[in-house]
Amino acid sequence: MSLNISHQFPAVRLVMDGAERYRLIRTVADVAEVLVKDWPSDDGEEYINALVACLDAYKETIPALAAREALIRAADEVRIPHFTLVC
């Protein structure tokens, strides 16, 4: 499992509850970390889809951008506000 630059995508910021209120997500590793450590619910359909997308992106069977899109759908599912950062 490689955490190299090919797993990067345009940054998205999640507005979470807790100590780290704003989470900056730039890589597939960031997606996996927020889903496993900080997600408010682990039983949503989009949540499961996002986890699968992370694994597939690590295996490079789907682009990293697909994991980002899956994260956004999971965030919408549990009403976590998010916005894209334009640099």
pLDDT band at 42 (very low <50, low <70, confident <90, very high): confident
* pLDDT of the residue at 5: 54
Rounded to a whole number of angstroms, the CA Rg of the chain reads 12
Largest Cα–Cα distance of the chain, in whole Å? 34
Domain ranges of the chain: 28-84
pLDDT band at 72 (very low <50, low <70, confident <90, very high): very high
Residues near 87 by beta carbon (within 8 Å), at least 6 away in sequence:
11
Per-residue pLDDT for 64 more than 70?
A: yes
* pLDDT of the residue at 52: 97
β-sheet bridge partners, residue 13: 24, 83
Output the pTM of the full model: 0.88
Identity (one letter) of the amino acid at 10?
P
